[in-house]
Amino acid sequence: MFEPQTINRDDPRTLAPLDRLVIAYLALPLFIFLIGWFEWWAAAVLVACSAYALRPMLANWAGPCGPRFTAQQIFIALSVGCVWTTLGGTDHIFYANSDWHVRDAVLHDLVVSHWPVGYGLHDGRETMLRAPLGYYLPAAVIGKLTTLSVAHVALLAWTTVGTVLFLLQVISLAGSNPGAALLAVTVIVFFSGADIAGNLLDNGPRFRSQWYLPMHLEWWAGSYQYSSITTQLFWVPNHALAGWLTIGLLYRCNSQTGLDWLLPILIVAAALWSPLTALGLVPFVAFRAARGIFAGDTLRLLHPRIWLPALTVGLAVAAYLTLAVGSVPRGTTVAALTSGDGVMSIARLLQFFVLEAGLIGFSVLLIRRSAELMIALGVLAVLPALSFGPANDLVMRASIPALTVVAIGAFLALLEKTPQPKLHRKKIFLAGILSAGAMTPIAEMARAVMLPAWQINFTATLIGATCDGFAPHYVAELGEQEILHLLRKPSRVALGPLGPESCRDPASEILWRRYPF
């Protein structure tokens, strides 16, 4: 299913301009992070390793350009990407969901404080902002050179660029047909599992009596959710963009391109955007590498010069991302399967998988066979048995790459030429399932336009926004960790106003005031 582009097969380093732009977009925050967080001598080594690992991206600029985009395709990607991103709440032009309250505070701290950002003593230990920061860093740099207000505008522009690049990746799989481009953006924007069916089946009369159009539909299963593509953009673009774009690269580039040489450093770059999303990318990257190795044409990828620079940088990034990670909530839902309610737990997991991914995935497989889609379905079947993070973040974030594979697979299946009547009926069935799932992104967009926008708090720090708490998934208590010998000493940010005013979440207040259920 990962469709190859037209390339020069005599040069394994050839990459199309779109692919180079995507790789640069994913890797830029990595360089900013290394320079801003590490001692100069460590940063010099890590930046050099990163640059060496990315060198295939700069090779063979005179090579073929890959598929050309028509003016209509570019217009569709730009217009849909701009509107879709703006509706998501970045820069608060429209209503922003409650996650933005804390996200705004992270951007504030990155702009106003020297790096690395610290928050002083907690339980007698020095603290540091420890979070996947890739999404924020380019906008934070612009904010440091200008103002915090400009940084929020830059974050909107940065998000829009990533969204448009992803839409172009998907559109490029459709050839030059503008109708296919419209189908591509429609499937992506409105892709979701059948959350409305899950709510009706599990919550029945209560759901029908309390339902309102902007309702968030995706927590119907209770302990876990698979987010629609629009939900990912509106709530967690910091996690979504790296997963979308890396999967898009795998679809566009076959094993003869320089992408294979770049995959190790791209996984490292993706981890700085979202380590859980990067974890979800691993099965697809591993499958691609194994397929190439068994085919006998990519053994050169095992050479240390390919993976050693990325491994060096990856160990440093991983050491930062796992600082004091033991305090983050974790667990497993497997124990419930062996308890007295084991049968019901298994049935619930099966129901969740079928409604959220299974129906769509198997409908696609009936039209278009794909090993990658089968891997995606396997990942989505297993993830709910695990738990990590305060809101079971592992399930929500590690599922992003697999859900992207299913979404693009659904688009390609609908695009498939089907002269046989049986295949035509299968496409109609798939379209029906996708239409039922579209209720979720419609609800997300309805919330954006029906509820009023709320103002950014330009003074709240992360500590204030989390109600004077030191959230363990954002703040690490420092001790004797070896990585601290490489990192710069944290710079304590002025905590500023604390208490109810910084802690208040305007998004939730607006929602509950309008719909007090």
Q: Return the ∠ at Cα 372 (arms to 369 and 373), rounded to 5°.
A: 60
Of 62-66, 467-471, 489-493, give the range with the top mean pLDDT.
Answer: 489-493
Alpha-carbon distances, residue 483 vs 274, 310, 318 (angstroms): 19, 17, 10
pTM assigned to the model? 0.93
Give pLDDT tens digits for 253-309.
865 567 888 999 999 999 999 999 999 999 999 998 888 777 665 566 677 888 899
- Given a contact cutoff of 8 angstroms between Cβ atoms, the answer to whether 115 and 471 are in contact is no
3-state class of 222 per DSSP? coil
Alpha-carbon distances, residue 376 vs 14, 32, 36, 228 (angstroms): 28, 32, 36, 15
- Given a contact cutoff of 8 angstroms between Cβ atoms, the answer to whether 385 and 224 are in contact is no
- The token pair at 388 is 């990590």
Mean pLDDT, residues 219-229 = 89
Q: Return the ∠ at Cα 16 (arms to 15 and 21), rounded to 5°.
A: 95
Give pLDDT tens digits for 68-88.
788 999 999 999 999 999 999
- Between 73-87, 112-126, 497-511, the lowest mean confidence (pLDDT) is in 497-511
- Residue 3 pLDDT class (50, 70, 90 cuts): very low
- 384 pLDDT more than 50: yes
Mean pLDDT, residues 135-159 = 98
Angstrom distance (rounded) from CA 272 to CA 26: 9
Q: Return the ∠ at Cα 302 (arms to 298 and 304), rounded to 5°.
A: 140
- 339 pLDDT more than 90: no
Angstrom distance (rounded) from CA 110 to CA 103: 11
- Given a contact cutoff of 8 angstroms between Cβ atoms, the answer to whether 473 and 394 are in contact is no
Q: What is the CA radius of gyration of the chain?
A: 23
**Among 243, 250, 176, which residue's Cα sits nearest to residue 19?**
250
Query: For position 8, what pLDDT does the model report?
Result: 41
Of residues 469 and 507, the one with the higher pLDDT is 507
Query: For position 12, what pLDDT does the model report?
Result: 43
Burial tier of 295 (Cβ tally within 10 Å: 0-12, 13-18, 19+) = exposed
Per the listing, tokens 């940065």 go with: 158
